[in-house]
Amino acid sequence: MNNTVSSHAGTDISTWQAFCATLKRDLVIALKRKNDLLNPIMFFLIVVSLFPLGISPDPVELSKVSAGVVWVSALLASMLSLDNLYRADYEDGSLEQLLLSPQPLYFLVLAKNIAHWLISGLPVVVLSPLLAYMLYLPSEAYWTLVLTLLIGTPVLSLFGSIGVALTVGLGSRGLILAVIVLPLSTPVLIIGAKAVTDVMFGLPIGNHFALLGAILAMALTMAPLASAAALRISVN
């Protein structure tokens, strides 16, 4: 399973087939590693649940910070799972086979990023309405929260991939990874939380979605290229 793509290196397969094989491989491996799959979700739930204890159980106070709490928790949960992107492949040699593949590395890296988002980002989006209800977020802001997370969490995975690719060969990379990823991810967090807050006050939010969409388009275009270049530097 670890050499799904590399086993096809000598055969004439299309880029789309290589993309699908890489995506399927990462999803199957993630489903087999129950701890890696559940840890980000449980971390997200625990962090959001602890905020009322640390701030105040008052519904008025919680509703004011609910959007920021969910977004910060989503960012931290995404960072917790980032190390799973390339670590195992680097350790068992599959990453070198990926780099030697005749298929464009951009699409193979993009497939791994999509798999990471499906595993760690999509569950956050699905669970966000329940946690927003627990934090007394006004009902009119639910859809805005879900949509901002749906657009923003893939950006967190794409930008995070760059940091992981740069540090994959390092023994201790936790702090360095945070220093690289947080500055890239913070604008998404600010825009997403601000959009939800503006809905609560009846303000227009079209510009927030435009900015998030532009950042996502930029991340889809540039992040896999940067990650591919970083992987070549880190592995070679």
Residue 32 half-sphere exposure, CB side, CA atoms within 13 Å? 8
Asked if 91 contacts 2 with a C-beta cutoff of 8 angstroms, the reply is no
- 116-132 exposure pattern, b = at least 16 Cβ within 10 A, e = fewer: bbbbbbebbbebbbebb
Choose among 178, 168, 180: nearest CA to 233: 168
Question: How many structural domains compose the chain?
Answer: 1
Q: Evaluate whether residue 172 is within a structural domain.
A: yes
Identity of the residue numbered 83? D
3-state secondary structure of 172: coil
Q: Evaluate whether residue 221 is within a structural domain.
A: yes
Q: Evaluate whether residue 3 is within a structural domain.
A: no
Pairwise CA distance, residues 83 & 80, whole Å: 7
Q: What integer pLDDT is reported at residue 233 of this predicted model?
A: 87
DSSP string, 108-128: HHHHHHHHHIIIIIHHHHHHH
Residues spanned by the domain of 36: 14-235
| Integer Rg of the chain from CA | 19
Whole-model pTM: value is: 0.87
Pairwise CA distance, residues 214 & 234, whole Å: 29
Q: Evaluate whether residue 188 is within a structural domain.
A: yes
Any idea which residue has 């005749």 for tokens? 102
Q: Evaluate whether residue 9 is within a structural domain.
A: no
Any idea which residue has 């390092």 for tokens? 170
Choose among 4, 6, 80: nearest CA to 36: 80
Q: Evaluate whether residue 190 is within a structural domain.
A: yes
Pairwise CA distance, residues 135 & 147, whole Å: 18
3-state secondary structure of 236: coil
pLDDT in tens, the chain (236 residues): 444 444 444 446 788 898 999 999 989 888 888 777 788 888 888 988 888 888 777 888 888 888 999 999 999 888 888 877 888 788 878 888 888 888 899 999 999 999 999 988 999 999 999 999 988 898 889 999 999 999 999 999 999 999 888 888 776 666 788 888 888 999 999 999 999 999 988 899 999 999 999 999 999 999 999 999 998 888 77
Q: Evaluate whether residue 154 is within a structural domain.
A: yes
Asked if 41 contacts 127 with a C-beta cutoff of 8 angstroms, the reply is yes
Q: What integer pLDDT is reported at residue 225 of this predicted model?
A: 94
3-state secondary structure of 137: coil
Q: Evaluate whether residue 75 is within a structural domain.
A: yes
